[in-house]
Structures are given as C-alpha cells and as structure tokens.
Amino acid sequence: MALKTEEMVLNMGPQHPSTHGVLRLELQLEGEIIIDVIPHIGYLHRCFEKHAEAMTYPQVIPYTDRMDYLASMYNEFGYALAMERLMKIEVPERVEYIRVIMGELQRIASHLVALGTYGADIGAFTPFLFCFRDRERILHLFEITCGARLLYNYIWIGGVSHDLHSDFIRLTREFIKDFRPNLKELNDLLSFNRIFIERTANVGVLPLETAINYGVTGPNLRASGMKWDLRKDDPYSVYHKFDYEIPVGSGEKGKTGDCWDRYFIRVREMEESLKIIEQAIDQIPEGDVTSAIPKRIKPPEGQIYTRVENPRGELGYFIISDGSLNPARVKVRAPSFVTMQVFPELCKGFMVADVVAILGSIDIVLGEIDR
Amino acid sequence: MKTAEEIFKILKEKFGDSIVELKSDKPIDPFVIVNPLEVDKICLFLREEKDLLFDSLMNLSGVDDANGEKVKDEKGLETIKGGTLSVYYHLESTSLKQKLTLKVSTNREKPEVVTVTESWKCADWHEREAYDMYGIVFINHPDLRRILMPYDWEFGYPLRKDYKNPEFYQGMKVPY
C-alpha cells in the first residue's frame, strides 16, 4: 500500500539568515522536493522613487547609496552617468579614472561579501572571515577618500567630491600585492574544496535561453555561458582603455550555469578587476576633479535610460526631466529585482537544503529589490 | 543595426494605425508611441522578426504624465482629473546590438494595457510593480497582485502625482 502523501507549504524567512535581508519564500514541498517557490518581497520598501521626485537632482545621490548597500559606489556612478548624458556634461579625465578605480574596488568588495556569505550559508565559516578581512582593507581605502565606509555620497554629477588622498595610490598597490595570494588561498580553501563542489555543482542550473528571457544579467548571465558585459558591450567611462578579460562559465565542475559556475565567475572577475585597477592607477592623469560640477543642475526636458555593469548585473536609471529642478520620474532597473524572478525556476525539483545554495549563488541584495 | 526611424517604418508597414508616431525631437532617446491594446502583438513581432530580434526587455516603467486637469476635492486636496498614464518599454537585441524604446499611453480613469509577459518573462514583476505604483491594469497578466506595497494596501497608488498618505494604517499613525 502506498503511503499517503500531501503537499506541504513551508515559510522561509523573512527573518532567515540565508535570505541576506528580509525576503520571505513560500516553499511548496512534496516531501523534501520543491514543487514551487513563491517569493514575497517588499519588506524593505522605502519608495525611493517617490522620494526622488521630491528632491533636487544632486540630493538623489545619497538615496541611491542606500539601494544596493554593498555596491554604493556603483549606484552613484550609474546615476551620475545618466545625469551627465542628459545634461551633456564633459567630465575631466582624472574623474573618469577615479570612478573606474572606485567602481572596481567596489566590485571586489561586493564579490567578497557574496563569496564569503555564500560559504557561510552552506557550512564553510572560515572563508567568510578571510573575505571580510580583505574587504576591510577596501573599506579603509574608501574611508580615507571620502570619510565614509559604506554610504559614500562621493560621486557627484560632473565630478567627485574629493580628490584622492595622498596615500591612496600607495595603499591600493599594497592591497593588490597582498590580495592576489589571498585569492589563491580562497581557491584552495573553498573553490576547489571537494565538499563545496559536491554541494554546488549541478545544482540550480540556469540555461542560457531562460536567462535571457528572464532578463538575468551580470555574473549570473555570464555563468550561463554568454559573453555579455556592459563594460565592453555598451561601453561607458574609460573602460575601453584597459586590457581585461570577461570570464564566462563553462561548466567546469558540472553543467554550465550551475551554482558552482556562478560562484567561480565572481572569483575570476575579482582577478580581472585587479588588472583594471592596476592599469588605472598607473595611467591616472593629473587634473581638477571638481571643475565640471555645475553650480545649478537643471537638465533640459527629455528622458534617458542609462545602464552600467554593477557587481550584480545591469543597473539602469530611467530618468524623465520636465525641465524643473526636480526629476519627474526616476525608475531604477535593479539587477537583483529582475534576477529574483528566475529563482522559482532554478529551485524546482531540488531539495529544501539546495534553496539556500541557490539563493546564495545568485547574490541578491534586498535593499535593491525593494528600493 | 537599425535606427529608430527604420524600425518605425517596418512597424508602420506591418501594424498600420496601431503605431502612432515616432518622437525624436526632444533629447535623448527617441521612442515609438504605440496602441496600448496591441502592444503584445507588436512586441512578439519585434522579438521574432529575424532582422529585429529584440530578445531582451531591459526595463519596463510606469509613468504618471500628470497632464490632466488639477481640481480640488471637498477636503481641499488637489487631485488630477483626466490625462494619461504611460508605460515605457526599453528593448534590446543582444545579438544585433540594437535598442528601441516603446511608449504606450492610457487614460487615467481606466488605465489598461495588454501584458507583454508572453514575449519576455521578466515583464512579470515589472508589470506588477507598475500596477502596484500606478494602478495600471495589465490585461491577461498571469498574476497581477501588489508586489512592493502590502497586499492589503487600499489607499491608492503611491507613485501617482496626486497620491495622499492615509492618516492611519492598521491602527498606526502614518505621518509620524
């Protein structure tokens, strides 16, 4: 006689350590197998877009910091870039270099959190401490530059708020020198660890077709095997001057687009970011960093959609200006928001324990999903 | 790679009156205005046609045009009568590296647009957000619920220009 079975609904979150914030997942289970997942978001909703309509254009920048709080520099970068294109402002070359250096440092810092917490989520605690030790060095670099460790208000429309600290270049070089061996250590400890590979390879496979149709971008899309990076495919700032590779997932330990691929793409991206930073601090020109900041920011009537390659994917700003001092509409296309939609597809057919592994591998930030 | 003018011509030939006009006078992105009740077919065509291949929806955004008449209601609060709400679609072709912006406008009293989830799955949450924030109803959407606001929010649509905060929400005072 067959055992009587029925579907069970299990709530995961909103206060669950592996959801990286406040996310509630409604799991529909048959035994331990997942049939469907319904994500419930909005617990961190602050209505950034409504706030922005009441602010002048420069006042929006501190709010953008608070969306993706692990990659604040890049949020400001994207917003400043959109406004400069709307107002047709030419930015001094030194500013562009500073922005690229800050952006890439931020990418490393953000990936370190992603990788460290991913290890911690599925039971490897030591790499978490190693990652946060290295991230601390980057936060120190940001602190000597602008005084803040996490929420910077550093990149302004037309420039940056301060020039680099006199020690910045030296400390950055030292950081790069120390960080390369640490990255190898991380690989030995976690990336090629047999238990870790068993836990992540062939889990949560994202096929390329599905990824594009769901609008997945950034490292998650590249892990599925597509060479797509806005720094190369829709170039902005001075990225065209540097020599670096775009890592693509190849299914080294399992199928292309599995959790391990998504994890390892981020390790390889950190190496490429180091290359960009090294070239940028060698080539950085002298100049005034505040000369192009307009006194009065009043863009012409019009609308623009600008996007940048954030550590999590395509961060887009859609800004409508009605010719006044306040934006008529600021819509943020948050990469985590879009990526989160594909999550139920990834989970179907796997075990409850794999939900944690899959959620960690797509690297979401709830501040950005809810805005 | 095709310009917005060329794509506009192709669309005009295929869909006739459903394609209203091409706006390119103001800076910076030119956009094509189309009929809100035909937008699903237009998007499917844009995705499938072999020299267009718009396989990715970058962004979908609701907008309150606030172009109606401003009137005071009995409490003296300003509301907007008439006018339009709009939805912008930013499309991209990853293989042909071309971009296109579509715009649909619908009236404020009964805002209805056909969903494009059939063309791109990622439109699902974007459309739910537009519904949540502007009250734009997406016809044929598989799961049109609020997404960022609480499911029981009954005080209107926050991103409309004439939105007023409620005084109390579940017994809690709102303007603190």
Put simply, whether A370 touches B (Cβ < 8 Å) is: yes
Does A40 fall in a domain?
Answer: no
Q: Which CATH number goes with the domain that contains A80?
A: 1.10.645.10
Does A302 fall in a domain?
Answer: yes
Does A11 fall in a domain?
Answer: no
Q: Is the pLDDT of residue B12 over 80?
A: no
Does A1 fall in a domain?
Answer: no
B28–A215 C-beta distance less than 8 A: no
Structure tokens at A73: 């520099």
CB < 8 Å from A in window 133-172 of B:
133, 146-150, 158-159, 163
Identity of the residue numbered A200 = T
Q: Is the pLDDT of residue B27 over 70?
A: no
Tens-digit pLDDT profile for residues A141-184 = 999 988 888 888 899 888 888 888 888 899 999 999 999 998 88
Structure tokens at B48: 């499938």
When divided into structural domains, chain A yields a total of: 1
Instruction: Say what the pLDDT of residue A108 is.
Output: 92
Range of the domain at B114: 4-173
Instruction: Say what the pLDDT of residue B26 is.
Output: 61
Instruction: Say what the pLDDT of residue A166 is.
Output: 86
Nearest to A304 among B29, B121, B124 (CB): B29
B150–A341 C-beta distance less than 8 A: no
Report the alpha-carbon distance of residue A299 to residue A86 in Å, rounded. 7
CB < 8 Å from A in window 94-123 of B:
94, 97, 101, 120-122
A49–B97 C-beta distance less than 8 A: no
Range of the domain at A245: 48-370
- The Cβ-side half-sphere exposure at B175, using a 13 Å CA radius, reads 4
CA-nearest residue of chain B to A54? B161
Does A83 fall in a domain?
Answer: yes
Q: Which CATH number goes with the domain that contains B15?
A: 3.30.460.80
- Residue A19's Cβ-count burial label (10 Å; 0-12, 13-18, 19+) is buried
DSSP string, A34-94: EEEEEEE--TT---HHHHHHHS-TGGGHHHHHTTSTTSHHHHHHHHHHHHHHHHTPPPPHH
When divided into structural domains, chain B yields a total of: 1
Q: Indicate the range of A285-294, A362-371, B26-35 predicted with least confidence.
A: B26-35
Tens-digit pLDDT profile for residues A158-167 = 888 888 888 8
Helix-strand-coil split of chain B, %, nearest 5: 20, 30, 45
Does A25 fall in a domain?
Answer: no
Residue from B128, B174, B54, B63 nearest A369 by CA: B128
A42–B59 C-beta distance less than 8 A: no
A338–B122 C-beta distance less than 8 A: yes
B150–A42 C-beta distance less than 8 A: yes
ipTM, two decimals, is 0.86
What pTM does this model have? 0.88
Does A24 fall in a domain?
Answer: no
- pLDDT band, very low/low/confident/very high, at A354 (cuts 50, 70, 90): confident
- Average pLDDT score over residue span A276-287: 89
